[in-house]
Structures are given as C-alpha cells and as structure tokens.
Amino acid sequence: MARSVFYSFHYQNDITRVMVVRNRWVTQGGQIVSGVIDHADFEQVKRQGDAAIKRWIDKQLEGTSVTVVLIGADTLNRPYVQYEICESLKRGNPVIGVDIHGIKDFNGRTSSVCSHHTIIGQYNNGRPAYFDDVASGIYDYIYDDGYNNLGRWVEKAVN
C-alpha cells in the first residue's frame, strides 16, 4: 500500500545522501514523498522566521502516515528535525530512523555515525525524550538494504 512519508533530515550536510534514498522511490514507485524542499525555497521560508518554518513543517506533515528520519552525523541535534519528530509523534505518525552515514555524497565521502540516544525533546513531566526510545525502528540504509527494505520498514512502523 502506498504511504505518504515525511522525510526529516539535515539539509546542508546530507542532501546528496537524501537524494539517493528519495530516488529509490523513482525506480521502485509506491511512496508519496513529503517534506523535501528545494534549498532556494527553504531559504525563502527561513527568512520569514521560526514561526514560518514551523508552519511550513506542520503543512508538510498534513496527510502523512509515517515520518522517516534520515540520520546523518548531526541530524538528531538539529532543532527543526527535533521539532519534526515531536510534531510527528503528536499527530500519531510512527517515526523510524534510517542511518544514511554509509551513503556516499557527491564527493565520494561518507559521514560519521550519529548516536541514536540523543535527546530530541521532553515529555509533559519534563523527563527527556530520547530518539531511540520514541522510534518505531532504527535501520541502516546500506547494511540493512534500505533500497529493497525501506517500504517494509514503513509498513512495519504503521502496523
């Protein structure tokens, strides 16, 4: 079944790796992609301030059924990624993490591994919320064969 997926990622560091994952859908079909914005468009939204960025994120999350966090070296420390994860959970979207550090960028380089035990927000009682505690699954795009399995991971998280 086709799912509307919101992708959360660190644009500046990982866009080339993200495009590898996104292009998987072009060759295999099946998913509707949300949450990927052209850099020029994002710069325009960014100039409008924090509230405008959060409104844009909220709009992108509408109608999605799962959030896939494409994790590079710094992804989970990014404030807007943390906002996307927390808003996804509030909306009932399961969240899965997919390590993309092993995907080469345009210069042929990979990135370092990110700790999944990273605080991404807090619970109502003030206790810290760690990504590895809230994620419905964490996978490695290269080692777990994300090209062939990402759709299964999404379905598993939804079910």
> What pLDDT tens digit does each residue of the chain (159 aa) get?
567 889 999 988 888 898 888 777 555 555 555 555 555 566 777 788 899 999 989 998 999 999 999 999 999 999 999 999 999 999 999 999 999 999 998 899 999 988 999 999 999 899 999 999 999 999 999 999 999 999 899 999 998
Query: What is the pTM (predicted TM-score) of this model?
Result: 0.89
In the chain, what are the domain boundaries? Answer: 4-158
Question: What DSSP assignment string belongs to the chain?
Answer: ---EEEEE--HHHHHHHHHHHHHHHHHH---EEES---HHHHHHHHHT-HHHHHHHHHHHHTT-SEEEEEE-SSGGG-HHHHHHHHHHHHHT--EEEEE-TTS--TTS---PPPPS--EEEE-TTS-EEEHHHH-SEEEETTTTTHHHHHHHHHHHHH-
Rg (CA), the chain: 15
- Fold for domain 4-158? Rossmann fold (3.40.50)
Q: Which amino acid is at 94?
A: P
